[in-house]
């Protein structure tokens, strides 16, 4: 195992900062990455922070986490959380612990957000804490 933690972000999270700020806050994804970089240094970890709007790319990156023997993956799969059996299968396949992250708390929102395929295989979850949730998730990854 290495000190690398993959931080994978799914669709529409590139628009954070301007995207429904009343739900997701006003931090951009770059702000979150900067915060995590500094927390990672503190924890002696290295983060590999990425965003894509494409489901298959997330699958490929999960496989890559296995190849590089990442310590953990923090995964905000965004809307694919609620639809993607492919991501569920990938998480089960890689043997790398995945921590589910959401800025909002999907359980308190529309019914279609209540199911999480990621949660069926993730070792832990952080929801509803906004950008700070990524930091909390990294601390959890450090403790694995």
Taking the C-alpha atoms of residue 109 and residue 144, their distance in angstroms, rounded to an integer, is: 30
Q: Which of 25, 97, 106, 119 binds ligand DQA (CB under 6 A)?
A: 106
Count of residues in contact with ligand DQA, rule CB under 6 A? 10
12 touches ligand DQA by CB under 6 A? yes
R_g over Cα of the chain:
14
Cβ atoms 138, 43 nearer than 8 A: yes
> What is the pattern of x (binds ligand DQA, CB under 6 A) and - over residues 13-52?
----------------------------------------
Closer CB to ligand DQA, 78 or 141, in the complex:
78
Secondary structure of residue 55 in the 3-state scheme: helix
Dihedral through CA 86, CA 108, CA 100, CA 50, nearest 10?
80
Q: Which of 5, 7, 47, 81 binds ligand DQA (CB under 6 A)?
A: 81
103 touches ligand DQA by CB under 6 A? yes
Taking the C-alpha atoms of residue 107 and residue 38, their distance in angstroms, rounded to an integer, is: 30
Cβ atoms 51, 73 nearer than 8 A: no
> What is the pattern of x (binds ligand DQA, CB under 6 A) and - over residues 112-131?
-x------------------
Report the interface residues with ligand DQA, using CB under 6 A.
12, 76, 78-79, 81, 102-104, 106, 113
């Amino acid at each position: 195992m290495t000190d690398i933690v993959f931080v994978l972000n799914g669709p529409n999270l590139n628009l954070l900062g301007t995207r429904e700020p009343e739900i997701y806050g006003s931090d951009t994804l770059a702000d979150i990455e900067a915060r995590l970089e500094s927390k990672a240094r503190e924890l002696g970890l290295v983060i590999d922070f990425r965003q894509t709007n494409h489901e298959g790319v997330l699958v490929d990156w999960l496989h890559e986490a296995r190849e590089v023997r990442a310590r953990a993956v923090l995964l905000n799969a965004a809307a694919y959380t609620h639809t993607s059996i492919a991501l569920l299968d990938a998480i089960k396949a890689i043997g790398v612990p995945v921590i589910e992250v959401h800025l909002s708390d999907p359980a308190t929102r529309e019914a279609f957000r209540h199911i999480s395929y990621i949660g069926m295989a993730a070792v832990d979850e952080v929801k509803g804490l906004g950008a700070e949730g990524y930091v909390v998730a990294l601390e959890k990854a450090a403790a694995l």
